[in-house]
Amino acid sequence: MRNKIVRKLLLIALFLVSFAIFYVVYRAISGAEDPMSRFLYFLPFVLQILVNIILITFLDSNYTRYSGLEYQIAPLLLFSITLENIKVLNLYSVMNYQVLIKESIVNKVYFFAILLSAFTFVGLSLYQQAKSSQKSNNYILLSLLFTFFLSFFGPTIDYIGFSETYNFYTVIVGALYAIAILNLFINIFRNFEKTKLIENIFLIFCAIGNFMITIVSKNSYNYPGLFLYDLGIIGLIVLVSKKNNGNTYG
């Protein structure tokens, strides 16, 4: 993602998707008999998006200060994670008996987003140590093409019970997250450095946390997932800030 236009487009797209999701959540809460309960239900999704906005803005404003490939891939990952929360449209439809966008369309976009996020986490784990961005760019392109065709032309799932989302797509997503986390653990012990150790731990937190928020829409999963995800994101921001200030871990 060295192309400035692509980074800016992803930034704009993330803001637009975030605004749309916030609007749906607002409508869902304002129309509820128990708004506080509804607010607490949607809160993990809202807070995850807010953290994504903070991080993508931070990365964009500090882009020229570092060139690590993991930060080249990050804008696409943050956008796809934000797009995963399009599932709130179907949740809204179930709660309010009002369809804003046809469920089948939301499902396809949702599956596209969760598959792309999973592939991107794998890419982060594979190309952390790469010296050239060419391989990572090729990986991203192939992942985008495969994800598009799989999610839009693959098996059709008409209904998603978001409290228990287990199907063809989520099995693939779970396998990809397992591969990404395994690779990140391997990276910890490959050319061991304290900085890489901390960075990989934060990325593992992000991966596990996002998986918990994405696959199951229950507060008992979403809040622990949000804690891990935010801990990973905040840790990465602090780590990047230290790198930019010339501080290194011994």
Any idea what the CATH number is for the domain that residue 228 is in? 1.20.1070
Element (H, E) at 225: helix 219-244
Whether 167 is covered by a domain: the verdict is yes
249 part of a folded domain? no
What range does the domain containing 118 cover? 4-244
Domains in the chain: how many in total? Answer: 1
CA distances from 11 to 15, 78, 91, 211 (A): 6, 9, 26, 22
With 90 as the cut, is the pLDDT of residue 181 above it?
yes
Residue 171 burial (10 A CB sphere; 0-12, 13-18, 19+)? exposed
Give pLDDT tens digits for 34-56. 889 889 999 999 999 999 998 88
Closest C-alpha among 164, 168, 238, 173 to residue 201: 238
pLDDT grade for 70, boundaries at 50, 70 and 90: low
Assigned domain for 213 exists: yes
Q: What is the pLDDT confidence band of residue 250, given thresholds at 50, 70 and 90?
A: very low
Q: Express as a percent the part of the chain with pLDDT over 90.
A: 33
> Does 58 map to a domain?
yes
114-163 per-position pLDDT tens digit: 999 999 999 888 876 555 567 667 778 888 888 888 888 877 766 555 55
Q: What radius of gyration do the chain's Cα atoms show? A: 18
Q: What percent of the chain has pLDDT over 70?
A: 84
- Is pLDDT of 233 > 60? yes
Over 70: is that where the pLDDT of 226 sits? yes
Picking from 29, 184, 7, 17, the residue whose alpha carbon sits closest to that of residue 96 is 29
The predicted structure's pLDDT at residue 130: 57
State the pLDDT at residue 82: 95
Residue given tokens 């992803």 in the structure block: 10
Single pTM value for the model: 0.88
Q: Does a structural domain hold residue 75?
A: yes
In-domain check, residue 250: no
